[in-house]
């Protein structure tokens, strides 16, 4: 399994994700840069709610809940330890390219979403594969991989992360932390997607802003080191300063790999959440979801990278333990309470990731059987069992399996994006035509009736 994962993630997916991201960037005329200012303007309207639908902001924080996680704290430390400071530069490049991929897949998800009986929406790659391409078997395959990866495997892993962090820092036994996590999550997930979104709406901004501010304080304390760190990142990125055992190759590989793992652009996970929001035009949600990638990779991953590199703890000989580098760096600047804060941040990041993972699992089940409450209840109980089980297990095998299914998930989604590229470009052109005419862009399903759009999802005003 390790060999297959190394081949899949180390060769195939890195090339495919970057190549398709570059093509989408070029074909959309670098939409992630042209509409960067619009991201902030759209956020001002993102709080608006329509009927029983989730707001665009709630969909944003749900996707941030999934993207922002252990990868922002431990994953960046691993990238620096194995790829050197230059890995940070390639992580930035990956994030900027991934913004276009995320824009595209989330826009398409909005186009092909469907309306439920209660007025809420469902959607994601399985839906745009079936409705946009006409391949239901491919949609079923995607949903199965989504359920195995996020709905089951990663929930046990996140529970293990929470239990390990609390045990190492505060001495809390894994059985107690696992049971407490199970109870809290039970209250949330049995409340359905609306309660999940309401919790994420509070917790995600709090944890992300809190981590950003504490990292900023640390950087202010070490402000004199920042120019040297930037120079070190650039030198390492282009092989002017060797990384551990691999030079520029290691910097590129680990920077790209950890960036992709962190922001999930192209994996097909975020579109499941992006589809549930109410917006007037699919492109609006695409722009907002591109901003989610920016928050994850360019803002929060950079916070971790600078937090580590402004201290003397990173050594190119690999003597520092990768996954503890961030904790050590915060402790170096802030003392023990700084390390405690990192632990709490890890717990919150993992907590919101579990909520996000559960929703993806529910969305996968919904594709197999529309709104089957028996299946949903079964998934909720299985999720809670996995939470308490994962808290006290060695999950190396589960992690390897989930990595494999996630890689296959990404491949299915990328094939779909390539096939649906003409549709996405047409939807973007529709938005830009209205915008240039001075109108407030709105999506009229009748203008695109050849696409098989659910008319209940885009009713005429």
pLDDT tens digits, one per residue of 298-324 = 888 888 889 889 888 777 765 555 556
**Rounded to whole angstroms, how far apart are CA atoms 363 and 196?**
13
Say what the pLDDT of residue 320 is.
53
**Rounded to whole angstroms, how far apart are CA atoms 142 and 124?**
10
Mean pLDDT of 400-426: 90
pLDDT in tens, 30-60: 999 999 988 877 776 655 556 556 667 777 7
Mean pLDDT of 443-461: 82
Q: Helices 247-263 and 76-83, interaxial angle, to 10°? A: 170
Say what the pLDDT of residue 319 is.
52
Say what the pLDDT of residue 23 is.
96
Rounded to an integer, what is the distance from CA 320 to the centroid of its chain?
27
Say if pTM beats, i.e. exceeds, 0.85.
Answer: yes
Is the predicted pLDDT of residue 380 greater than 80, yes or no? Answer: yes
Which residues are registered as beta bridge partners of 277? 54
Cα distances (angstroms) measured from residue 334 to each of 149, 208, 217, 326, 387? 37, 18, 9, 12, 32
Mean pLDDT of 203-232: 84
Say what the pLDDT of residue 347 is.
78
Residues of the chain with pLDDT > 90: what percent? 23
Residues of the chain with pLDDT > 70: what percent? 84
Compute the mean pLDDT over every residue in the chain, rounded to the nearest whole number. 81
SS (H, E, C) the chain: CHHHHHHHHHHHHHHHHHHHHHHHHHHCCCHHHHCHHHHHHHHHHCCCCCCCCECHHHHHHHHHHHHCCHHHHHHHHHHHHHHCCHHHHHHHHHHHHHHHHHHHHHHHHHHCCEECCCCCEECCHHHHHHHHHCCHHHHHHHHHHHHHHHHHHHHHHHHHHHHHHHHHHHCCCHHHHHHHHHHHHHHHHCCHHHHHHHHHHHHHHHHHHHHHHHHHHHHHHCHHHHHHHHHHHHHHHCCCCCCCCCHHHHHHHHHHHHHHHHHCCCCCCHHHHHCCECCCCHHHHHHHHHHHHHHHHHHHHHHHHHHHHCCCCCCCCCCCCHHHHHHHHHHHHHCHHHHHHHHHHHHHHHHHHHHHHHHHHHHHHHHHCCCCHHHHHHHHHHHHHHHHHHCCCCCHHHHHHHHHHHHHHHHHHHHHHHHCHHHHHHHHHHHHHHHHCCCCCCCCHHHHHHHCCCCCCCCCC
The domain limits of the chain are 45-438
**Rounded to whole angstroms, how far apart are CA atoms 88 and 307?**
12
Tell me if 213 sits within 8 A of 307, measured CB to CB: no
Say what the pLDDT of residue 331 is.
76
Q: 45-438: which CATH number, 1.10.10.10, 1.20.1740.10, 3.40.718.10, 1.10.600.10?
A: 1.20.1740.10
Task: State the pLDDT confidence band at 245, using cuts at 50, 70 and 90.
Answer: very low
- In total, the chain counts a number of residues equal to 461
């Amino acid at each position: 399994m390790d060999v297959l994962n190394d081949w899949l993630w180390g060769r195939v997916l890195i090339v495919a994700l970057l190549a398709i991201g570059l093509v989408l960037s070029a074909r959309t005329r670098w939409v992630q840069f042209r509409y960067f200012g619009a991201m902030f303007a759209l956020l001002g309207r993102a709080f608006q709610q329509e009927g029983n639908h989730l707001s665009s902001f709630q969909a944003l924080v749900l996707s941030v809940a999934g993207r922002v996680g252990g990868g922002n704290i431990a994953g960046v430390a691993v990238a620096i330890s194995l790829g050197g400071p230059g890995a940070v530069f390639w992580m930035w490049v990956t994030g900027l390219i991934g913004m276009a991929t995320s824009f595209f897949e989330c826009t398409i998800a909005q186009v092909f979403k469907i309306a439920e009986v209660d007025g809420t929406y469902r959607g994601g790659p399985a839906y745009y594969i079936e409705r946009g391409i006409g391949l239901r078997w491919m949609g079923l395959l995607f949903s199965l991989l989504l359920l195995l990866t996020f709905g089951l495997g990663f929930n046990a892993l996140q529970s293990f992360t929470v239990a390990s962090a609390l045990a190492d820092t505060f001495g809390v036994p894994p059985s107690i932390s696992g049971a407490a996590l199970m109870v809290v999550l039970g209250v949330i997930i049995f409340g359905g997607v609306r309660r999940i979104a309401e919790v994420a709406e509070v917790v995600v901004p709090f944890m992300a802003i809190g981590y950003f501010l504490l990292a900023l304080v640390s950087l202010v304390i070490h402000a004199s080191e920042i120019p040297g760190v930037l120079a070190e990142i650039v030198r390492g990125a282009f092989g002017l300063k060797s990384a551990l055992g691999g030079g520029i190759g290691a910097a590129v590989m680990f920077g790209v790999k950890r960036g992709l793992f962190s922001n999930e652009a192209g994996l097909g996970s975020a579109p499941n959440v992006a589809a549930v929001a109410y917006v007037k035009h699919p492109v609006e949600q695409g722009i907002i979801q591109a901003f989610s990638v920016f928050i994850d990779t360019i803002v929060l991953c950079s916070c971790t990278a600078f937090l580590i590199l402004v201290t003397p703890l990173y050594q190119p000989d690999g003597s520092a333990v990768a996954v503890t580098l961030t904790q050590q760096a915060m402790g170096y600047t802030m003392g023990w309470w700084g390390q405690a804060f990192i632990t709490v941040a890890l717990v919150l990041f993992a907590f919101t990731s579990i909520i996000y993972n559960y929703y993806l699992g529910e969305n996968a089940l919904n594709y197999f059987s529309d709104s089957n409450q028996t299946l949903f209840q079964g998934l909720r109980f299985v999720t809670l069992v996995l939470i308490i089980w994962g808290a006290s297990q060695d999950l190396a095998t589960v992690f390897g399996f989930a990595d494999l299914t996630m890689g296959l998930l990404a491949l299915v989604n990328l094939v779909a994006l390539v096939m649906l590229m003409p549709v996405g470009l047409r939807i973007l052109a529709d938005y830009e035509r209205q915008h240039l005419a001075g109108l407030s862009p709105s999506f009229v399903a009748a203008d695109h009736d050849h696409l098989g759009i659910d008319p209940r999802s885009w009713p005429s005003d």
